[in-house]
Amino acid sequence: MIEVVYALWRRDMIKFLRDRRQLITSLTRPFLWLLAFGFGLRASVRLPTGGADYVSFLVPGLAAMTVLFASMFAAISIVWEREFGFLKELLVAPVPRGAIVAAKILAGSATALIETSLMLLLSPLVGARFNPLGALASLPLLAIFGMTVNALGIIVAARMKSFEGFGAVVNFVIQPVFFLSGALYPISGLPRGLRAVVLVNPMSYVVDAVRGLCIGHHSFPLLLDVAVILGSAVIFAALATRAFRKMEA
Amino acid sequence: MSAAIEVVDLKKSYDTVEAVRGVGFTVGAGEIFGFLGPNGAGKTTTIKILCTLLQATSGTARLAGLDVAASPSEVRKRIGVIFQDPALDDRLTAEENLMLHAVAYRVPRADRQARIDESLHFVDLFDRRKDLTRTFSGGMKRRLEIARGLVHRPEILFLDEPTTGLDPQTRARTWEVLRELRKKYGTTLFLTTHYMDEAENCDRIAIVDHGLIVALDTPAALKQRVGKDQIAARTADPAGLARLLSEKYGLESTAADGGLTFLVEEGDAFIVKLLTASDRPPLEGISVRRPTLDDVFLSLTGRQIRVEGAEGNAAKLRALVRRRG
């Protein structure tokens, strides 16, 4: 069982690592945000956090964003594999559906982790300043967030029969999750209604934890962040397994 | 011969469409069994139910004595499936595809490499084992899928339209491989096809149409059922020959270009009889055509098996069915 999960995980990783172009293009998104948004607004943004400048403040939010996009779009492989037939080969094999889902979630999370690590590693080159040990400590949390997001992607992919359908639904989900997470701004100054929305978004707690670890600014206790991150991963993984079981080739 | 596959009154409906309307048959161990019928006859649906990808609406199917609905995972261990459309991961190499399969089917670690090499040799792809499968031609992909189907030594191998879209040479080679496979491992083969000449390779054929089996027998017996051979004789005196045929042998004939044609049982023996008859008019040429499975299909359903014309519609229907389930 573990061996099968590993073999399936390894398959996705091999394909990810073979496709260098994808790895490089995936880094353009956070750096575009960092350069255009970070430097564009740095002069006019006065953060309540004191010390850190806006570029450094953005880095944790963009690290979480990188995971959000990478892990969500990794789930499109299910739509892809159904379209091109490989999924049937998996579904007809004597492999528990749960093992396939576990491998997908772990691979989606691992690819997202590679991308976000690169992003964190390279961001000091454009002038971001943060605690490197804090960034290192953030990686497990970002990885678990990656599992949650990939599980959500699987839930969508299990119902979608086309790339277009998947793309449309995922964009519909991904944009509000990103913009209403505090990735781009401190949540302390938000109006009450908007703040309530941010508080039910699991990504807010990821951003908060990573920002706390990297630049020492956070709104919630770290323990609460970790609890939400772990809890949402468990819930979404369970839902993804259920959705995948119900799916037919 | 013990039964490898036993199907009783199997039915499957999609919303309002009845794709399979009650089929039943038994396949013996080591048999090559073909499902022959036009696109949309319910062949793929039947195969999907047998290999646990779809649930039947009613009826039972047992593979190696195991009920497919009750113990799907036990069934999955014993079968191999080669789908109509390639189901390879085309961004992995040939060898990686087979290795993944070997792990998924719990081939003991110590045996894996040997089995993979043997399978690749078997289909003549050993030299290409390190190449990405996306670089393979259609025929090579199909052979690689057969190789993959062998890695876990299934008792029963399902092949859905195994040679559709392949050129004649590759089709012939694929069949060589399949026959060798049965000979070497005693594998039971269940395949669907809409090619008559492909069906000739089967031990027995079930002819399916509109979700029902309309005939089930060996290819020879099915052709026997249509019966007579058609003889075409060229002669300068068709009237004389027609008279002889009707007076001496009681055969009716029809005039054809440069002679006439008639139907007779055991045409080859009849030709000898006719040639040695002293009172026949001079013949310029004579040929015998045995009934084909096309004739069988025509006589059973009143239609030709649709190969070209309806292909587009059938493909659409298949896409629809796939989308639904």
pLDDT band at residue B324 using 50, 70 and 90 as cut-offs: very low
B36, β-bridge pairs = B193, B207
CA–CA dist B244, B85 (Å, integer) = 55
pLDDT at B319 over 60: no
Flag whether pLDDT at B323 surpasses 80. Answer: no
CA distances B279 to A38, B158, B252, B275, B276, Å, are 107, 56, 18, 10, 9
CB B33 within 8 A of CB B202: yes
B76 contacts A94? CB cut-off 8 A: yes
- B228, B208 contact by CB (below 8 A): no
Q: What is the pLDDT of residue B1?
A: 46
Q: Are B2 and B26 in contact (CB under 8 A)?
A: no
For the segment B274-296, the average pLDDT, to the nearest whole number, is 84
pLDDT attached to residue A162: 82
Smallest Cα distance from B152 to chain A, Å: 11
Q: Which residue of A has its CA nearest to B91?
A: A15
Å from B84 to nearest chain A CA? Answer: 9
Beta partners for A46?
A: none
Q: Is B12 on the interface with A (CB under 8 A)?
A: no
The answer to whether the Cβ–Cβ distance between A85 and B83 falls below 8 Å is: yes
* A141 close to A229: Cβ distance less than 8 angstroms: yes
Q: Do A89 and B91 touch (CB under 8 A)?
A: no
Q: Which of B83, B97, B148 to mutate to test the interface with A (most CBs of A within 10 A)?
A: B83
For B170-211, how does the pLDDT look when each residue is reduced to its tens digit (9 = 90+)?
788 888 888 988 998 899 999 998 888 888 899 999 999 989
pTM of the full structure? 0.79
Is a pLDDT exceeding 70 seen at residue A75? Answer: yes
- Cβ-based contacts of B76 with chain A (< 8 Å): 92-94
Query: B100, A8: Cβ pair inside 8 Å?
Result: yes
**CB-CB contact of B226 with B291 (8 Å):** yes
pLDDT class for A146, splitting at 50, 70, 90?
very high
Nearest-CB residue to A93 (from B76, B92, B96): B76
- Model confidence pLDDT, tens digit, residues A222-245: 999 999 999 999 999 999 999 998
